[in-house]
Amino acid sequence: MTRVRTIVAPVLFGVAALAAWQLAVVALGIRPFVLPSPFAIGEQFARNAGVVTDAAGVTAGNALVGLVLGVAVAVVFAMLSATLRVVDQVSAPLVVAASVVPIVALAPVLYTMFGASVETARQLVAALAVFIPVYVNSLRGLRTVRPIHRDLMRAYAASGWQATRTVTLPGALPFFFTGVRIASSLAVISALIAEYFGGPVGGLGKSITSAVASSNYPLAWAFVLGAILTGLVFYCVTLALETVATRHRTSG
């Protein structure tokens, strides 16, 4: 019953919000360039489903590469920081600096470095956005070991690797997946934003810009809908992976 309520409640809220949006556009006579109606957006989305899907595929591909790269680098750095105090002290200011790098300024620089005809700049922007939440949460998880578990490992005369494998890494999993869930949506958003500043013709960001330039605002919102659905897919896949990976902890 609780699970049904969890699913039905947001669906009903979403339907009510769309109905209120449609009613407001019709009743107030809002022009399409200000805010198209949900019906007009849905019509454009259905009519251009293939185009939206192709653009979403480009953005999703860049976001996926950035997500994998950012997660891998973040986990390695988190493990080094948790193990070596000197790495933690050196990397702390670098992580703070990386967290405040503006994507709008970084994307054009990366296009100049790697060329505007390849997707490398977009993937690196997504990787940078992914790095921070995964690093911070993974490091916190690696440092969160209950004293009773640590004492138990000492009582069993467990080696450092045995303690890490049986206590530290399983305890860090929930923190790691929290960071990945946050990063999954950030990867899509970052890759999309990077498309605004150059690169190959393709992706949702470029498509939104082109639709707005031709004053086809419902189509632009249809691409925005495609971006939302892409972000939801990334989030749901990450959530499913987390459920599978931590299932034994939940059932226990």
Each residue of 67-113: pLDDT tens digit?
999 999 999 999 888 888 888 888 778 888 877 877 777 888 888 88
Which sequence spans correspond to the domains of the chain?
45-247
| 2 — pLDDT class (breaks 50, 70, 90) | low
Residue 226 predicted with pLDDT over 90: yes
- Please provide the DSSP assignment of 28-67 as one string: HT--TTT---HHHHHHHHHHTHHHHHHHHHHHHHHHHHHH
Strand residue runs (E) in 95-220: none
Residue 252 has what pLDDT?
47
Rounded Cα–Cα distance for residues 44 and 52 (Å): 10
pLDDT at 54 over 90: yes
52-59 average pLDDT score: 94
Of 191, 200, 180, the C-alpha closest to 242 is 180
pLDDT at 126: 93
Tens-place pLDDT, residues 124-157: 999 999 999 999 999 988 888 777 777 777 777 7
Percent of the chain with pLDDT over 70: 95
Q: pTM to 2 decimals? A: 0.84
User: What's the pLDDT score for residue 65?
Assistant: 96
Give residue 201's pLDDT band: very low, low, confident or very high (50, 70, 90).
Answer: confident
Return the higher-pLDDT residue of 132 and 162: 132
Which CATH superfamily groups domain 45-247?
MetI-like (1.10.3720.10)
How far is Cα 222 from Cα 46, in angstroms, rounded to an integer?
Answer: 9
- Which one is predicted more confidently, 140 or 32? 140
Q: What phi and psi values does residue 37 have, to the nearest 5 degrees?
A: -80, 155
Handedness of CA 33, 35, 38, 41 (dihedral sign): positive
How far apart CA 57 and CA 65 sit, in angstroms, is: 12
- Say if residues 204 and 228 touch (Cβ distance below 8 Å): no
Q: What is the pLDDT of residue 68?
A: 96
